């Protein structure tokens, strides 16, 4: 059996089962992705070049990981 077939059988089944058993995890990951995309869109107009945008986009990824706080800060204007 090839490595890719083994990986497909084990990992994808485990991954799918994990997401089905924990719908909150799917929701959290979906909102994290939405937050990262929004943060990058928001920040892209406020920076220029890799030197300016790189650190800003890294912050966008960090905010995506803690997205509930990100949206509270945005809407509260903190």
Q: Is 48 helix (H, G, I), strand (E, B) or coil?
A: coil
- pTM, two decimal places: 0.62
Q: Is 68 a domain residue?
A: yes
Q: Could you give the number of structural domains in the chain?
A: 1
Residue 27 lies in a domain: yes
Residue 4 falls within a domain, yes or no? no
- Residue 1: the pLDDT is 45
Range of the domain at 53: 23-76
Nearest CA-CA partner of 63 in 26, 36, 30, 41? 36
Percent of the chain with pLDDT over 70: 76
pLDDT one-digit tens code per residue, 39-76 = 889 888 888 877 888 888 888 888 888 888 888 887 88
The better pLDDT of the pair 77, 7 is held by 77
Residue 3 lies in a domain: no
Gap between the Cα atoms of 60 and 22, Å rounded = 25
What spatial distance separates the first Cα and last Cα of the chain, rounded to whole Å? 55
Residue 51 in domain = yes
Q: Is residue 43 part of a domain?
A: yes
């Amino acid at each position: 059996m090839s490595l890719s077939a083994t990986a497909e059988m084990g990992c994808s089944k485990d991954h799918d089962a994990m997401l089905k058993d924990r719908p909150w995890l799917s929701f959290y990951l979906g909102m994290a992705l939405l937050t990262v995309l929004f943060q990058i869109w928001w920040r892209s107009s406020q920076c220029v070049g890799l030197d300016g945008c790189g650190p800003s986009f890294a912050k966008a990824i960090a905010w995506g990981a803690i997205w509930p706080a990100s949206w509270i800060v945005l809407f509260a204007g903190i």
